[in-house]
Amino acid sequence: MSSVVLTNAKILLAGYDLSGDFNQIALEYQAESLDATVFGNTSRVRQGGLKTSRATGAGFWQAGNNAVDPVLFDNVGVDDTVLMVFPGGITEGSTSTGSGYMQKVTTGRYGFGGAVGELLPFTIEVEGRGAGA
């Protein structure tokens, strides 16, 4: 399994640039594996089913105007929020953003908490919603 180290990812949620608050982001895209085995087959037969997408992230909590807390808190349970992730960032003045991922999501979980004397971390989980998820 190969991995990519992100150092300049751009994360936009609900029109807000939250890149400076996140230090982790993971995107998953998958399809259900449905059993299509019929009489006469000698082994299981699988067929692709409905597709799903999910994103998880983490970073450091901040409150106040234009901070991560009000944006994430206000979007819990809101349908069709737009999430855009550009793993290589966006170069200002460029005519291309490079590769990126966009999906409509519903924020299902937002949490924060940590130990005394440490930066307060947060976590978020969103699920893709609708066509093109």
Stated pTM of the model: 0.78
Domain boundaries of the chain, sorted by first residue: 10-128
**Distance from C-alpha of 123 to C-alpha of 120, rounded to nearest angstrom:** 10
Does CATH place domain 10-128 in 1.10.3470?
no
Percentage helix, strand, coil for the chain under 3-state DSSP, each rounded to 5: 5, 45, 50
In this predicted model, what pLDDT tens digit does every residue of 25-73 receive, in sequence order? 998 988 999 999 999 999 999 999 998 899 999 999 988 777 888 899 9
Average pLDDT over residues 99-120: 90
**DSSP at 73:** H
